[in-house]
Structure 1
Amino acid sequence: MGSDVSTVLSAQERVALSLARQGMMNHLGVRLVSATEGRVELALPYNDKVTQQQGGFHGGAIGALADIAGGYAALTVAPEGMEVVTIEYKINFLNSLQGGEIHAIGQVVKAGKRVIVTSAEVVHTDADGQRTPCAVMQQTLTTVPQTY
């Protein structure tokens, strides 16, 4: 947004606008479930774009969803006019399941002036509503000026 805009966006609006610009996330079918200050939940439905050779959710798709959920949680606490980029993340894969959808819940652990640490939990939900942990992630991000 340009500096002439005086309206401050809510966390939900800020994340939704940024997510709409994410080509990869749109290609995979990621949707925003909720966004509040310091916490973002995203969902990814099972489909043939996100599977590995045995039919389960691919680790790359799980990792990407965790990365973006943590990143958007960080964005909600970043100053207006700033974006965030991932410096690094560490992920533990717990299960790779089929069907249903996975949800990643990103949360800010600590927000500094230049570095933000987040965590994300990825959970699979099957057709019966049963929830199974898929992955846990810890992430470090930094703020950068928004260029669009």
Structure 2
Amino acid sequence: MIPIEEKKVEAVKRLNYFDLHSDVIRQFEDDSIVFYTERSLLNVNQNKRVIGVLYHVTEEMKTLIESFQQEYSALVYHVVKTNTEFGLLYDFMYVSNHSEEWPDDHEDLKNNTAFVYCNNISDPHCSEYGTIAIQASGGGLIRIS
């Protein structure tokens, strides 16, 4: 079992791959506070673009995160919330208990992809592990596929 502090150091390394708001990294590093990013449409002078808006995780998310962490000996460091045609998804970005996989996780992050636990809130039976494409936006991260 890898100590939580070692996983936390690894999580901070991963958070630093992206152009995240400095508070996201600092609050996670100092106080283990997890943020989530939600897509939002920004419309300025008739120019529309999708950005990520940062929030502290909700109580519902905290409960789901704690359950996931306990069951899989993992450490969630960020959540990407996305509404899709197949449901509301909370993608848990996490550090696993398998340090031999960490170098592969770093390669994924360098390529703007992440292996996540996709928690399908609308249909929990469809929750699964998988790789998603992400990009930094608005100080957070949004899922792009």
Structure with the higher helix share, 1 or 2: 2
TM norm structure 2? 0.29
TM value normalised by structure 1: 0.29
